[in-house]
Structure 1
Amino acid sequence: MKHTFFFLLLLAVTTGRAQNNTVNLIPQPVQVQPLSGSYTLKNGAAIAYNKPDAKAVADLLAQRLSTPTGYSIKAQSGKTGAIQLRLTDTPDNQLGKEGYTLESSPKGVIITANQPAGLFYGAQTLMQLLPAAIEGQTVTKANWTLPAVRITDYPRFGWRGIMLDVSRHFFTKDEVKRYIDQLAKLKYNTFHWHLTDDNGWRIEIKSLPKLTEVGAWRVARAGHFGERADPKPGEPTTYGGFYTHDDIREIVRFAQERNVTIIPEIDVPGHSMAALAAYPELGTTKNPNTSVNPGTRFSEWYGNGTFKMLVENTLNPADEKVYEFLDKVFTEVAMLFPNQYIHVGGDECYKGYWAQDPGCQALMKKLNIRHVEDLQGYFMNRVEGILKTKGKRLLGWDEILEGGISPDATVMSWRGIKGGIEAAHMGHDVVMTPTTFAYLDYQQGEASVEPPLYAGLRMKKSYSFDPVPDGVDPKYILGGQGNLWTEQIPTLRYAEYMTYPRAWALSEVYWSPKEVKNWENFAQRVEKHFERADAANVSYSRALYDAIVKTSVKGDKLVLQLESEMPGLDIYYSIDDTMPDNQSPKYAQPIELPEGPITLRVITYRDNKPIGHLITLKRDDLRRRAGRE
């Protein structure tokens, strides 16, 4: 069996690097074997399923095929159909719960799996084998042909997630469904829903109506997050929104149909300003003027990762009413979300207000603890106890390790991979989601071209991620996740732009065997998926076509280095105040820049046509980059 597995990996690597142009799948399957011929989808084709559990997948596939083709494609029970969905009678251990085989020939397509999840993922692969126009929502005339191929596929990790923050900016029910639908096509199976924070409480809690009457709304503000004006007394709170219980049930059902589990996050004890705006008595200062934050500068961050809150945003760990409040919240959250986890945040909890509070000091004395930081461990243990009474497990950001947590708690490692390594060595299950590889809100291209942000993350870096660090037992690494925080993301269209194509890269990180990963081949497949995204009207970044501008200092000279993520691009530049084109100097090796007030202009070409953004940087900009990665 071991020899067979490595043969399949070798074959996958070979076919992954030399696929024909009709097979451009993301994420890359374990094995792709091109065959002779092709299959053309015809009007009236049937999708047959052999067991009732496969009906839902067949119905969804029939709908997706019928919409852009205009064909009448029906799902039907039985074993005769151009497309057949087969659940095994005897499980294939290699495929597991989510794996599948797909074989297409001139006669049709057969997808086989142990469970409906595998059939669903096989159906996503089938869709990717068809022309890009299959992703559209209007009828299109096309040759609906897919190549003959034999595919064996199953995921590397069981947790393949994306997080969407809906607190900083609210996204409607239909927008959330659209976002989930696109993720499911990439074989993501987890949607982490960040529902509460300082900037808005987004989930209806019927027993605590002020959470949405007050906490879901803030004053309208434009401009960069962190630079906006404070709310004025009596100013109307017109921006926001929330999801009712019925909304959530609808979204959960929608996700379940696409094999996606929704993990809700209620971020405590920090990041709770929206909750305190609704119920100020739950803080230590009990400030009745607390408001939902519209994006003001409410904290001071220091270079060593520490910070100070200028406004209280933490729940009071010494107040029993806080735990009564949380019991009500988690009762309703647990009722709405059927999965085993509730994410409770635990990150960036400022404890300065606790240190000044007599009640917290008394609690510390009672617990015989010397450091105020240890109050978070007490708080989290109380929260975990509440969750257990609801039949749920605690999941939190890696700060939850600092106060001591039970062995049942699961850790999301976001501050690099260090917290995940520590948690795994302690026997905790871990989801790897480090800023260094998985933060989708970071700039993905040239800083002078894209809107300003404090950090960058290119797709090639995301693609290089391995969620299992050296020296860690893989059994503790559940998988990984990309995170999209939305301080600077006000619309779904821009959320898509920031998500893709980096989420394509991460989908391959989390699904495909690491042995089949190949950047050059992946970059070529990304271009084909740009066409699919265009057909689906999904926004994405083209930053991989832009030049990467680096500088260093050699003696008293400033040295320029240029490169690109996309292989095979030509890079042209000018330093003489002319607009560069393919007749300008072509970059071939590092360049010592002359002294003086020069301006660098850089553009990429392919096949003698411009393809990337024009990048313009003055000498001072270039000098500041010296020494940067």
Structure 2
Amino acid sequence: MKKLVYLLWLAAPAWAQSPSTTIPALIPAPQTLEPRSGSFAITNQTRLHILTPVASIRRMVRANLPGLKLTDQPRPLKAITVRLAPVPGVGAEGYDLTVGADGILLTAPQEAGLFYGLQTLRQLLPVTTRSGSRLDRIPALHIRDQPRFGWRGLMLDVSRHFFDKAFVKRFIDQMAQYKYNVFHWHLTDDQGWRIEIKSLPRLTQVGAFRVPRTGRWNDIENPMPGENPSYGGFYTQNDIREIVQYAAERQITIVPEIDMPGHSMAAIVAYPNLACDGKQKVVPTNGKFYKLEDNTLNPCSDSTYAFVDKVLTEVAALFPGPYIHVGGDEAYKGFWTTCELCKPVMATNGLKTMEELQSYFIRRVERIVRSKGKKLIGWDEILEGDGPTIRLAPGATVMSWRGMRGGIEAARQGRPVIMTPFQHCYLDLYQGEPSVEPSTYSMCRLSDSYRFEPVPDSVRAELILGGQGNLWTESVPTPRHAEYMVWPRAFALAEVLWSPKERRNWPEFMNRVEAHFRRFDALGINYARSVYNPIITVKRPPLGFVEVFLNHELPDVLLYYTTDSTQPDDRSLLYANLILMPKGASRLKVMAYRYGKPIGMLIDLPIEELARRIR
């Protein structure tokens, strides 16, 4: 029956196509949705009825349904009723929502479920557009819903570029609308230390600021002698407490990341004795120093662990969630090989390799994390060097980013895993044709994110806690650009992590995405339209011709092109399966059409760029 209900829902041909659609465009898709006849009208007489005395829940409901007057009538008509009560077969984050002509009833067994039901209801409720028009009817339906995974996260890197408290709250608001429940906050890295540690004031006095730079990440100049390190910022402990509370009110747990032993240059600049070489350095503007300067904590010095203990004592007090992320990724160990302190430590502990030495470091840090009443999370490198001499604690959670392999290995060892492979989950990568995208590297298209499957066939599913998207910000200098990189790929990941696997349907998902583009336009949220652009790949076969291949993520798209420098339209050459660039052609221009109209941007590539892509 559930399958039939869902198929009926998918079959609605006009769903999400216009404001008059009878079936709403919900992201993530609910577990079950049963359309019913009729609709509920939102009017000035619509009342809000909250059937619980719990003050925090009442505040939460009113915050999510602003502008509706409360009623205390026992059985009010034409009301939106919210109640805390058991729902058969529904867990802590689940809910039941019924919309009928006489009213709306939202029921959930716990506060989290009520919150997520309210997010669904908010997607059903009227949206005021910039022109002032409103959608004032909600189609009758019945939804019963709960998430597939308990860990549904997004990560924001605030080290490479600092994002102020107001934007962090805005980011959390956007997460909450799409039922994310973990905000992974990457607070420290080489380019900036962003969290106040009162016992170590130089971390923010010195480590939170670098000299200002603009440009492509790999081309940014190094700091010059005498330059003023004026770019950056940090969050005070009061800021942190405020944001933690703000997130908790939206059912979001914050996981702080203090990256170590690598990615620690900002800390080392503040306290040079933390590194093996002990040299004075400056906070870098780029990543060109890697392997040339020591940005890694000394794993063999007791003062390092005293530093880590001080930091994590204050971090643990600020974040009430169960986890602290300690990074562990991309630690260059070359300076450890010549460190005089490391030789006796390795001999005493029977450590043969630098990977085993890092495992020794992570094990000691894990004990510190555990002493604060928290559990450790690290990137999949924390598995390296794990062996009979030094064993990673069974309670440590592995976050797998270099593909799925690290997560599979961790799960086979019985460890909990969060899957976040870069091919599907890195939101800093190109999301469309690079020639018309802001500068970055590699590729993760919207369809790549939607194809993400967190549970490999070869592991126990219960060990996969869930997954998350990661926004690294080397090439993301502003809040508006951060939104551009996150959305719409975070729509796809929200659905992957919430909705049943068997319900995924790419064409139908894209209909809903386009409806949410209109919502974002009304709300003033930036997003990428890259999915509308064709992508060009190039090969050179043995005969020497330049072979060009075009593809597009959307169905029902026709691609027209020219090779004579004229502008393409729907009377130009229609792409079939291959373009052989003719002799003397200097440019390839491509335009996509859908339903008889051009979509996306004109792609205009000179022959030099095509040749570069072959290389």
User: Fold-level match, TM-score > 0.5?
Assistant: yes
SS in 1 for 2:593: strand
Q: Does 1:421 align with 2:414?
A: no
Query: Which residue in the other structure is 1:312 paired with?
Result: 294
Partner of 1:461: 448
Equivalent residue letter for 2:363? N
**Residues 1:34 and 2:35 aligned together:** yes
Alignment of 1:128-527 (within 5 A): 128-133=123-128, 140-288=132-280, 290-299=281-290, 309-404=291-386, 405-527=392-514
Aligned with residue 532 of structure 1, among 511, 519, 535:
519
Alpha-carbon spacing, 1:63–1:541, altered in 2? closer, same or farther (3 Å): same
SS of match in other structure, 2:207: coil
Q: For residues 542 and 219 of structure 2, what CA distance do their matches in structure 1 show?
A: 40
Which residue is 1:619 aligned to?
Answer: 607
CA distance in 2, matches of 1:526, 1:503: 11
> Secondary structure, in 3 states, of the residue corresponding to 2:573?
coil
Structure 1 vs Structure 2: percent identity of aligned residues? Answer: 50
Cα displacement string for residues 526-548 of structure 1 (whole angstroms, at most 9, x for unaligned residues) = 11000011111110000111112
**1:103 touches 1:151 (CA, 8 Å); kept in 2?**
yes
Q: CA deviation at 1:237?
A: 1.3
Contact 1:132 1:531 (8 Å CA) reproduced: no
Distance in 2, Cα, partners of 1:78 & 1:326? 57
Secondary structure of the corresponding residue to residue 257 of structure 2: strand
Segment of structure 1 superposing worse, 591-600 or 579-588: 591-600
In structure 2, relative to structure 1, the CA distance for the partners of 1:75 and 1:489 (3 Å cut) is: farther
**Structure 2: 5+ residue runs without aligned partners?**
16-20, 387-391
Equivalent position to 1:541, from 528, 537, 540: 528
Residue 568 (structure 2) aligns with: 580
Partner Cα distance (1:624, 1:238) in 2: 38
| Cα distance change of structure 1 residues 232 and 143 upon mapping to structure 2, 3 Å threshold | closer
> What letter matches 2:576 in structure 1?
A
The counterpart of 2:69, out of the listed 60, 68, 73, is 73
CA-CA distance at 1:91 after TM superposition: 5.2
- The farther-off stretch of 569-578 and 155-164 is 569-578
Deviation at 1:370, TM superposition (A): 1.8
Residue of structure 2 equivalent to 1:4: none
Residues 1:527 and 1:287: Cα distance change in structure 2 (over 3 Å): same
What SS does the corresponding residue of 1:373 show, helix, strand or coil? helix
Alpha-carbon distance change, 377 to 618 in structure 1, aligned in 2, over 3 angstroms: same
Using the TM superposition, give the Cα deviation of residue 264 of structure 1 relative to its aligned residue in structure 2, in angstroms: 0.3
Q: How far does residue 581 in structure 1 lie from its aligned partner after superposition?
A: 1.5
Q: Which amino acid aligns with 1:11?
A: V
1: CA distance between counterparts of 2:197 and 2:385? 28
Q: 1:607 is aligned with what amino acid? A: Y
Aligned alpha-carbon RMSD (Å): 1.9
Show the counterpart of 2:389.
none
Question: What secondary structure does 1:436 align onto?
Answer: helix
Instruction: State which drifts further: 449-458 or 588-597.
Output: 588-597
Deviations, residues 540-587 of structure 1 (Å, cap 9, x unaligned): 000111112233445523333322112222221111110111221222
Structure 2 CA distance, aligned partners of 1:64 and 1:473?
Answer: 37
Structure 1 segment 546-565 matched on structure 2, within 5 A: 546-556=533-543, 557-565=545-553
Residue 80 of structure 1 and its aligned partner are, at CA, apart by 4.2
Partner of 2:18: none
Q: Could you say if the C-alpha distance between residues 578 and 351 of structure 1 is closer, same or farther in structure 2, counting changes exceeding 3 Å? A: same
- Tell me, yes or no, if the aligned pair for 1:30 and 1:153 is still in contact at 8 Å: yes
SS at match of 2:156: strand
Is contact 2:556-2:595 (8 Å) kept?
no
Post-superposition Cα deviations, 1:158-203, rounded to whole Å, max 9, x if no partner, equal: 0000000000000111110000100110010000000000010000
Residue 59 (structure 2) aligns with: 59
Q: 1:101 aligns with which of 80, 96, 117?
A: 96
AA of the residue aligned to 2:583: E
Aligned counterparts of 1:249 and 1:497: Cα–Cα separation in 2: 28
Q: TM-score, normalised by structure 1?
A: 0.92
Q: 2:154–2:184: 8 Å Cα contact kept in structure 1?
A: yes
Name the SS of the counterpart of 2:98 in structure 1. strand
Match of 2:6 in 1: 12
Cα distance in structure 2, aligned partners of 1:56 and 1:46: 20
* Structure 1 residues 362 and 444, CA gap change in structure 2 (3 angstroms): same
Tell me the CA shift for residue 12 of structure 1: 1.9
SS of residue paired to 2:549: strand
Instruction: Kindly provide the CA deviation profile for residues 26-54 of structure 1, in whole angstroms up to 9, marking residues without a partner as x.
Output: 1011111111111122225332222234x
Q: 2:111 aligns with which of 109, 112, 116?
A: 116
- How many residue pairs get aligned? The number is 601
Query: Unaligned regions of 5+ residues in structure 1, if any?
Result: 1-6, 300-308
Aligned to 1:305: none
How far apart are the structure 2 equivalents of 1:596 and 1:503? Answer: 43
Cα displacement (A) at 1:14: 4.0
- SS where residue 217 of structure 2 aligns? coil
